[in-house]
Every structure is written in C-alpha cells, then in structure tokens.
Structure 1
Amino acid sequence: MKIVFITGISFFMSLFSWFLPEQEETKIPVCHTAGNDMSAMAADPAFQRLHPAPLPFVYTGAGEMIKFSTPDGQSANAFFLKAKKPSNKWLLVYQEWWGLNDNIKKEAESYYNDLKDVNVMAVDMYDGKVATEPAEAGKLMQSASETRLESIQKGAIAYAGPKAEFASIGWCFGGMLSLKSALLEGKQAKGCVMYYGRPVQDVDKLKTLNTDVLGIFGSQDKGISPETVKTFEENMQKANKKITVKMYDAGHGFANPSNPVYNKEATADAYKLSLNYLKEKLKA
C-alpha cells in the first residue's frame, strides 16, 4: 500500500506540474533538462489534450518560402510576404506548436493585407517539420533546443537588416517566442503581441525590453493560467515596462478554429485589438 501511495503522488505531481507558476516549475527536475521554456509542458499529456489536431486546410494565397543564414552556421526557412512598396517595417510571425503550417501562413497574410506596406515574415522554428497530431507536436516542441530557436530568431532579425523596425506576434509556443523575439531585437523592437504564451518572468531580462507588450490571454486557460499572467504583469512593472493585458473569458487556444474552445467573438475582437496595436507601433 505504501508503494502504491508514493507512486500515485509522483504521477499526479508529473501530470499537474505545468499548472505551477514559472518559479515553482523550475524546482521540477524535468525543467532543468528541457530544450526550451515550454518543453516540460509539451511532454505533458494534459497539455497535449488542450490542442486537438488542426482541421485540414491548404493555403493558396500570396507569399513565398525563403531561406536565410543563422549565426550557428546553418540556415533557416520562413514564409515571406514582401511589402508592395519599399519598407523598413517588419512583422515577425511565430507559429503555434504545430510548426509553420498553412494556418499560420493564412494568419500572416491577413496581417499583411490589413497592415499594408509592411514586410511580414512567418519564421519556421522547426526547420521544415510540421505536426498534425498533438503527440507529434509535443515531441517537436520538446526537442526544439533553446540554442537553435534563438539562432533562428537572430537569423531572421539579421535578414531584415539593421535599419528594420520590428513588431512580433505569436500564439501559444509562438506567444513565448514573440516576447523572446522582442528581447533579441534590441532597439529595433517597436511592438510585441503574445497570445496565451508562456511569458519570460526574469525581471532583469525584462528590463532590456525596448517595447511595450500586448498580452492576450484566456481566464479559463489551464496552461498559461491567470495567476501566471498576473505574475508577468507584476514583473513587467518591476522592470519598469508597460504591458497591456486583455483577458478573455475563454480557454487556451481560443483563437484557433480547430480547437473545441474556439471563441469566434473573442478571436475577432483580439484580432482587431492586435491589428490596431500593430498599426500604431509600425505606423502603418
């Protein structure tokens, strides 16, 4: 009986470890061996169940796939929509945990059409790999090393050039990457939108931000909880940085049409909110 009890406790600690705030999660051994800040969550079946397989969709719009060099001596890919007029305004779009799929390309095109005269680059963070099932996506996100992810982002930033002015946007895994992109962009950063992504909670790192942040979250999110968001707001305040949080009465992934918790009204409102924010930041 004693052995069964201990095993049961271990199971439930593992199952619910990702509900804890970032500071508490770092006490769990798996987080120390994770490839990136969301690896532990990606490996958890409970988190995977928050992301049903995406509905079939084939993108047939504008844009092209490009390659660019990365500082680690490799190359990376991106879906690129070039501004119709010469422009130093750039929007970097970051994928969900599925990879750079056709849904993300469609989102990139929507912002491209509505922002106008802005270069839009949806960065491929998985080096060509795209998942169609939750378990597969979990493995891809779990195996994505922090070093490679950062190198890809630095390569994308360098591709745009030293005169580029950046804003970034992403969902879930991409929400985390959007914030990290803003940190890497330095003084070139002009705006950052993160949809229900795991935030950086290190105050010293947040102090280096050169832009404010628009955070879009769900009050029913069991992955990125309202408590985590509150801590993020507090840490941004400690770092003397501005953050605007819009909390919808919705769950994780509410802006993805493939998700059962998809909220059409919240998605439309969030898109309008993010678009107006990006227009202001990029003066588009």
Structure 2
Amino acid sequence: MKKLLFLLLLSGITRFGYAQTPSCCHNPDGVTAFAALGSQEEFRMEHKNPLPYVYQGTGGAAVTFNTPDGTPASGFLFKAKKPSQNYLFVYHEWYGLNDYIRKESEKLYNELGGAVNVLAVDCYDGKVATNREDAGKLMQAASRARLGAIMQGALDYAGKSARIATVGWCFGGSLSLYSGLTNGAQNIGTVMYYGMPEKDVSVLKTLHGPVLGLFGNQDKSINPAVVSEFEKNMQAAGKTLTVKRYDAGHGFANPSNPVFNEAATKDAFGLTSAFLKKTYGL
C-alpha cells in the first residue's frame, strides 16, 4: 500500500514538470503551482532577503538516507531522548534547509519535550539561497520526481513502524501536504503554513490524519479564495481540516520577512504545538 501511494503521488507531481505548461483542461498540483510562483516578481517581492543567522544549537546532527532514485538525500535530525516511533518531518521554505529551519526544528523538538524525532528534510540537496532571486530559481528547478524520491526516502528512513506528522512553511507548506500523502497510513497529521494546497479531491481522499492550515488573508498568492477552495475540497474528500486565517501576509511567521506578524506567529505556534501534542498523544 505504501509503495502504491508513493507511485500515485509521484505520478501526480511529475505530470506537470516545472519546464512544462499544463493544458487548459487541468490544474497543476499544489507543489507545481507553488514552484511556478518563483518566476513572478510580485511573489518574490513579498519576501525580504533573510537576515544572516548561524545556528548554534548542539542537539541536532546532519544525517543522510537512501532514496528510490539511487541518490542519497540529507536532513538534520533531532533524535528523541528515548527510543520512539514518533517522527516529525519539517519542510523548509523556498530558501532551503538553512539555519533558520534548524532553529525552528529545535524549537519544535523542545516544545514536544524531546519525545519526538524531528527530521528537517533537505529538498534542495544541499543548495541554500540567501536572497529571493536565487530562492525563486531553486524552487522552480526542484524536480518533482526528485522531491517525491526524497519524501519516500525520509519515510523509509523513519521505518515501517513510524508514526509521522509533517510541518512546513511557504513552499514547505505545500511539501508538508505532499509528504503527508506519501506517508500513507503512517501519516498521523499535517501542518501547513501558507502553502499551496492540492486541488484534486481524488488525491486528497488518500490522505491520512487531520490537517491544520495556517494562512494570511493578505497573502496575494495563497489568497482567501484558494483557502476556501481547499476547505471545500477537503470536505468533499471527507477529511478533517482546521483552518486559522490571520490578518497578515505571506510569510507572516518568518522574522526576516517584512510582513512578519509577531502576534499571529505566536498564536500559530500555539495552535501547531497543541495540534502536534494531541496527534502524538503527549
């Protein structure tokens, strides 16, 4: 079943490769639709180049794992204090797995009391952007097939007995949902911050576990209409979705973004913490 779900996902996210143009009769999936935003000046201008930051924590460590396409992938792991089958997959913004993501992963690890293995997944194979122009290029160039292979590799790394939840921001918000689909019955919950959702109800029907969606009403790309359609589609798929909308823009939870909203970020983190603790039974 796990391999079948991966093949279904892979076929879905490769049907519109980034160099292709979808036909008029189909809508691209959330990952492809979000990646295409990297070419739009308006979307790039919604982001401020991240401020320099060096992660100084000592709790995490770099790891590598195999993937179905034969090219090893990597990540940054905070290992549970005691052996645990609980995993949280963290998906980075369009900049890549930078030190901000390592810091946020550690924050989530500590919030969950060190009871969950927290794996920040590197979807760019070591590439990291330090400005919005390069971030847009990396996001557009991210191969749908490679992304699917990395997600499957992370799932295999966690193991067949793992209970997995996912979380991500921006491009990672879309990837969080697709990782949830890849994880099949092992997926127990998904958190997505202002990511482009999947529109295909038949695909959403394969998703396991509830979803927490955190969005900004001032977001020009993942706008209120997109969020409302997601709610409608999830209802049609018979899935549980909780949405919180903030009077904020895209990237409101990123302190290096000009639209950073401290109050919304604090509230969203509280909801994320409560959602994950309930999901893991902590």
Give the alignment's TM-score, normalised by structure 2: 0.89
Q: 2:63 corresponds to which residue?
A: 66
The reply on whether 1:257 has 2:255 as its aligned counterpart is yes
Instruction: Map 1:30-109 onto structure 2 (within 5 A).
Output: 36-61=32-57, 62-109=59-106
Q: Distance in 1 between matches of 2:24 and 2:133?
A: 22
Residues 35 and 143 in structure 1, CA contact (< 8 A), matched pair in contact too: no
Amino acid aligned to 2:83: P
Q: 1:188 corresponds to which residue?
A: 186
The Cα shift of 1:36 comes to: 3.0
Give 1:168's match in structure 2, choosing from 141, 166, 169: 166
Task: Give the number of the structure whose alpha-carbon radius of gyration is greater.
Answer: 1
Partner SS, residue 33 of structure 2: coil
Give 1:157's match in structure 2, choosing from 152, 155, 158: 155
Q: Distance in 2 between matches of 1:75 and 1:109?
A: 24
Query: Which protein has greater RCO, CA pairs closer than 8 Å, 6+ apart?
Result: 2
Residues 35 and 144 in structure 1, CA contact (< 8 A), matched pair in contact too: no
Partner SS, residue 183 of structure 2: helix
The Cα shift of 1:35 comes to: 8.7
Residues 75 and 122 in structure 2, CA contact (< 8 A), matched pair in contact too: yes
Amino acid aligned to 2:191: V
Residues 36 and 145 in structure 1, CA contact (< 8 A), matched pair in contact too: no
**1:137-158 deviation per Cα after TM superposition (whole angstroms, max 9, x unaligned):** 0000000011000100100010
Instruction: Map 1:134-283 onto structure 2 (within 5 A).
Output: 134-283=132-281
The Cα shift of 1:122 comes to: 0.2
Q: Percent identity at matched positions?
A: 54
Give the alignment's TM-score, normalised by structure 1: 0.88
Q: Which runs of 4+ in 1 moved over 6 A?
A: none
> Unaligned 5+ residue runs, structure 2?
1-20
Residues 221 and 252 in structure 1, CA contact (< 8 A), matched pair in contact too: yes
**1:89-127 deviation per Cα after TM superposition (whole angstroms, max 9, x unaligned):** 000000000000000000000010010210000000000
Amino acid aligned to 1:267: T
Instruction: Map 1:125-140 onto structure 2 (within 5 A).
Output: 125-140=123-138
Residues 76 and 124 in structure 1, CA contact (< 8 A), matched pair in contact too: yes
> Unaligned 5+ residue runs, structure 1?
1-24
Aligned residues between the structures: 258
Amino acid aligned to 2:244: K
